Amino acid sequence: MTSFLDKLCDTARRNNSWLCIGLDSELSKLPSFLRERHGPHAVLEFNRAIIAATADLVCAYKPNLAFYEMLGPLGLEILYKTRELIPNEIPVIGDAKRGDIENTARAYAKALFEHYRFDAVTVNPLLGFDSVAPFLEYPNKGTFLLVRTSNPGAKDVQELDCGGKPLYQCLAEKARAWNTKKNIGIVVGATAPSELAIVRRIVGDEMPLLVPGIGAQGGDLEKAVRNSVNSRGELAIINVSRSVLFASPGEDFAHAARNAAQALRDAINRARA
């Protein structure tokens, strides 16, 4: 069975892209004509159009579960159907940010990997290794550990001094040590470009970095790419959501999303070079 990392690299090289589109399809922000025509089902129709318009421009898609869970049972059904819309050769990262004790983590892993069939998920490692281990038992799946996130409050905790180094560096070192099955990745926000470079040095060339925070959150694309790629100019998954999804509020939304995605892919490639 193909590993997440192999699937990711195959798609990235085929599409010449390290752009990941976050399917954060918040109902209230969708084009009004879609909401009027489909009600809450507009989320699925929106995702269908976005995926069709951009599938040759991405290395992965990343739905954030919050925007589906907020719709209740229907939202989870839409999430499941959205997963089915994505071509099998494109990896899908379930942005769940789960983190709990071992038996609960095992249930989360089973739901996300077996029921929703995500190729990778995001996990909060602050409860320690036993809370991460159930995800790592799926060797062909990816587990992205939150290390230095893109939100303004990240520094409140993630930069706390831990014996002479900030917590995020300690987490990166733990991730490297836990990566015995080569199925761990790291989340570091584009809003912290210096920290991105430090984390890349800590984890080395073979671990993928998932980099949110470009676009609406204000991260610098060029700095983020240069500081997160490995020595081959790869394994930096640059995630963009709102600036692609909501590039137009009109009936041309999918065409506008494609144009925005293509411009971002090209900008990422220039920075990689």
Active site members: 97
Name the residue with tokens 């990689």.
272
Q: Provide the 3-class DSSP secondary structure of residue 53.
A: helix
Contact 242, 215 (CB under 8 A): yes
Contact 243, 216 (CB under 8 A): yes
Q: Nearest Cα to 147, choosing from 123, 172, 122?
A: 172
CA distance 57 to 268: 12
Contact 63, 24 (CB under 8 A): yes
Contact 145, 184 (CB under 8 A): yes
